[in-house]
Structure 1
C-alpha cells in the first residue's frame, strides 16, 4: 500500500465515524426528549 492509499482510507474512516457520531447524537437526543415527554405526561 502506498501513502496515498493510507490517506484515502483514513479520510473514508473519518467520514464514516463522523456519520456514526452524528447518528448516535441524534439517537441520544430522541431518547432524552422521549424521557422528558414521558416524565411530564404523568
Structure 2
C-alpha cells in the first residue's frame, strides 16, 4: 500500500526535476534495505 502511494507520488512530481532526484534517492534507500534484508536471510540459511 505504502509502495503504491510512493510510486503514485513519484509519478505526480516527476516533472519537477528537484523532487524527482529526491524521489530517486528515497527509492534507492528502500531498494538497498530490501537487498540487505534478502542478503541477511540468505546468509542465515
Q: Please, what TM-score do these two structures have when normalized by structure 1?
A: 0.69
Measured on the aligned residues, the alpha-carbon RMSD in Å equals 1.4
Unaligned runs of 5+ in 2: 1-14
Unaligned runs of 5+ in 1: 1-7
Higher relative contact order (CA 8 A, sep 6+): 2
Structure 1 runs of 4+ aligned residues shifted over 3 Å read none
Q: Please, what TM-score do these two structures have when normalized by structure 2?
A: 0.65
Find the structure with the greater CA-based Rg. Answer: 1
